[in-house]
């Protein structure tokens, strides 16, 4: 008997195993709705939920700042001084920066 006929007999004898193996391969990896793709989609959804919560926090902080700017004129002065280094006529502004590392100074 040739090797091919022995292989066919072995395969025929275990036909349920092969059917289950093919089913698992299709459902697990090949199908567009496979378990593999579902796992990738769940990871992406969790990343997007983290982004949503981060953006909601940023929105709340910006809304609070905007309300403060609209209601408090001293807040405008504070932001102008801190962010844009603005000053009044009778004062000086000194900006102190940290030392650069050796890698940055050699460039």
Q: What percent of the chain has pLDDT over 70?
A: 93
Report pLDDT digits (tens) over 31-79. 788 888 899 999 999 999 999 999 999 999 999 988 988 888 888 888 8
pTM for this model (two decimals):
0.53
pLDDT at 22 over 70: yes
Residue pair 3/10 in contact (Cβ under 8 Å)? The answer is no
C-alpha atoms less than 13 angstroms from C-alpha of 49 in its C-beta half-sphere:
6
Q: Residue 13 is encoded by which pair of tokens? A: 């004898």
């Amino acid at each position: 008997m040739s090797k091919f006929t022995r292989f066919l007999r072995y395969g025929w004898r275990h036909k349920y195993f092969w059917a289950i193996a093919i089913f698992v391969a299709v459902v697990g990896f090949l199908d567009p709705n496979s378990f593999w793709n579902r796992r990738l989609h769940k990871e992406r959804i969790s990343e997007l939920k983290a982004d949503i919560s981060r953006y909601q926090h940023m929105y709340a902080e910006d809304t609070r700042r905007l309300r403060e700017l609209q209601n408090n004129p001293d807040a405008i002065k504070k932001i102008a001084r801190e962010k844009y280094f603005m000053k009044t006529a009778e004062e000086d502004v000194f900006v102190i920066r940290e030392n650069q590392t050796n890698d940055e100074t050699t460039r």
